[in-house]
Amino acid sequence: MKKITKWDEAAALCDSLSEDQDTLTREIVTRLADKWTLWVMSVLAEAGEPLRFSRVLEQVEGVSQKSLTKTLRQLERDGLVTRKMFAEVPPRVEYAITPIGVEMLEHVEPLWSWVAKSVGRFQQARIVFDTAKDSREDSL
């Protein structure tokens, strides 16, 4: 009685991975959902050219220097962006998205779109849940 055949395929794929690889898979997916990673990647992708650190800092509204540095380091480590340092003063560092970074964005997009499209249903569900809870509390 398994209906989620596609998900089963994913599970089978996971089974074929070592524990290290499984951990890494989770780590990558988890990072995708942190506060800045996707935003930074999409800024670099939409720019279509390498961007200096300070340009990214401007375009990713609200990110702190510290968090941006950290995010970019992680992305660089995973091969999702490149970092090019110029021996100049003041320093110049350019970041660019890699092909695999683009590929990842392309795979995130359908999920993100679906969630955005479905957001009304989630709002509705929350209203139902919260009002039910309120009435439960009222009756105490």
Partner DNA sequence: TTCATTAGTTACCTCAAGGTAAGTACGCGC
Partner DNA sequence: GCGCGTACTTACCTTGAGGTAACTAATGAA
| Interacting residues with DNA (CB under 7 A) | 34-36, 52-54, 62-67, 69-73, 83, 85, 89-93
Using DSSP's 3-state secondary structure scheme, residue 120 falls into helix
For the chain, give the longest Cα–Cα distance. 70
54 binds, among DNA, a second copy, none (CB under 5 to 8 A by kind): DNA
Report whether 108 contacts 38 (CB < 8 A).
Answer: yes
Of the residues 64, 91, 92, 126, which one makes contact with a second copy according to CB under 8 A: 126
- Torsion sign across C-alpha atoms 14, 16, 20, 24: negative
Q: Is 91 in the site for a second copy (CB under 8 A)?
A: no
Nearest to 97 by CA among 25, 42, 29, 56: 42
Round to whole Å and give the CA distance between 29 and 78.
Answer: 12
User: Residues touching a second copy: how many (CB under 8 A)?
Assistant: 61
Interface with a second copy, residue 69, by CB under 8 A = no
Stretch that binds a second copy, among 12-20, 55-63, 64-72, 85-93 (CB under 8 A): 12-20
What's the one-letter identity of residue 138?
Answer: D
Q: Tell me how far apart the alpha carbons of residues 21 and 24 are, in angstroms, rounded to a whole number.
A: 5
Least Cβ distance, residue 14 to a second copy (angstroms): 6
Residues forming the site for a second copy (CB under 8 A)? 1-4, 6-11, 13-14, 17, 20-21, 24-25, 28-30, 32-34, 42, 45-46, 48-49, 76-79, 100, 102-126, 128-130
